[in-house]
Structure 1
Amino acid sequence: MTYEIALNKAWDKIAALASSKKYTVKYFTDIYEVRISDRMMLSISSDTPASEDIAILVLHYLTGFLKYGYNPKEEWISFKDIKGGQSYYPAYQENTIKPILEKFKEKTDDLISYLTESLEGRIVKGGDVTVELPTFSDVYIRMVLWHGDDEFAPEVTILFDRELTEIIPSEDIAVLLFNLAKRISDEL
């Protein structure tokens, strides 16, 4: 599947806004060099081009960041709370939450280790276990995990600062959280 049209639009937007020819953007544990004039994005760690979906996401983040800045409000919301979140929630639940929940039920310790060690997260207060994960530079999400008991099934909730909705659209938030679930599923 190609994202050529969306990618070209993203490059056009950043080119019109950018005050520099090159930017460095952290995305999860990788760092990307964004070369505006060349329309190229390379992973610094592997010296390979970013996949189209990651390139679009990083460009949208960078565009929003340059245009509006990012000032976290410390108001943590879930996917249901964003524009369009309620209508897309069943697909989000199936594609993002369910795979993480399955790993949490099967490999609790491995999941927490992966989140804290491989994804550079840190344990914070909340739920039975809450891990705060860096996504982009200065942008964090929180994965809240509940073990469950005789009355309630285990549960996973992902929260992010409300300010994130000011710099990237709802669709990109869905992609960001789906990419997290995919990383977890691929690694555990």
Structure 2
Amino acid sequence: MAWMNLEPAHRQAKEEFALREPGSMAFNAAVTYRPETAEFIVPFLGSYYLVKYPGGEVIDAAGGSEVPKEVQITLLHYLAKASPAQVEGRLISFQELPGGFIYVGPFNNRAVRPLVGIFGGKPELLVRAAEMLGGRRVEIGDVAVSVPVLPKIPITFVLWLGDEEFPPSGNVLFDASASRHLPTEDYALLPSLVLGKMRRLVCH
């Protein structure tokens, strides 16, 4: 995976970002660009980040700790790669993303298993966490939520509750437009960032 070694991935993401025209990036990604300060304002998981152009520095708009490399790479990739395509409202599985079968192992380990492990026995916390991030409950499985991760990237988390015969199970679904805005390998890791944030919000 491109993210397994974060430093080269971060460096390449900054280089690709610097080659793009800021006005086009802002339009395609549905974010604000301030020419006077040469920075993008990007909403991500309930927070706002400033991304400097062309250097690619990422700053938490609220201040505080340094932005994790994984988040920096995600935002830079999104700005550089987002297309004019709009959210379609049709859900697809990870395997339906281009080359998704290649990353299905890491995806299950980083997304599906943590989803079930964290929220399988506490589905009400999944709903509460999603709502805290601007998400909403949707009618799939037994309990499901759609979380607006980035302006054009909602992610849907689905749980099937267990019973006496079967343990809880789950899945993570994407909008059919997902491949137009980020490469597939990013989607193998992105749900884990969302789950980590949701866990911090409601699991004490």
Is the TM-score greater than 0.5?
yes
| Cα deviation, residue 128, structure 1 | 1.4
Check whether the contact 1:100–1:185 (CA below 8 A) recurs between aligned residues. Answer: no
Is the counterpart of residue 149 in structure 1 residue 152 in structure 2?
Answer: no
Q: How many pairs align?
A: 185
Relative to the length of structure 1, the TM-score reads 0.86
The CA RMSD measured in Å over matched residues stands at 2.2
After TM superposition, which residue ranges in structure 1, 4 or more long, deviate above 4 angstroms? Answer: none
Cα distance in 2, alignment partners of residues 101 and 54 from structure 1: 23
Give me the identity figure in percent. 26
- Unmatched tracts of structure 1, length 5 or more: none
Check whether the contact 2:144–2:158 (CA below 8 A) recurs between aligned residues. Answer: yes
Check whether the contact 2:44–2:150 (CA below 8 A) recurs between aligned residues. Answer: yes
Aligned to 1:34: 51
| Cα deviation, residue 7, structure 1 | 1.7
| CA separation of 1:18 and 1:48: change in aligned 2, threshold 3 A | farther
Cα distance in 1, alignment partners of residues 121 and 165 from structure 2: 19
Task: Letter of the 1:60 partner, please give it.
Answer: H
Aligned to 1:82: 97
Equivalent residue for 2:152, pick from 138, 151, 163: 138
Aligned to 1:6: 9
| Cα deviation, residue 151, structure 1 | 4.6
- Unmatched tracts of structure 2, length 5 or more: 23-34
Equivalent residue for 1:170, pick from 184, 189, 203: 184
Q: Secondary structure at the match of 1:126?
A: coil
Check whether the contact 1:99–1:185 (CA below 8 A) recurs between aligned residues. Answer: no
Q: Which aligned pairs between 1:25-64 and structure 2 lie closer than 5 A?
A: 25-64=42-81
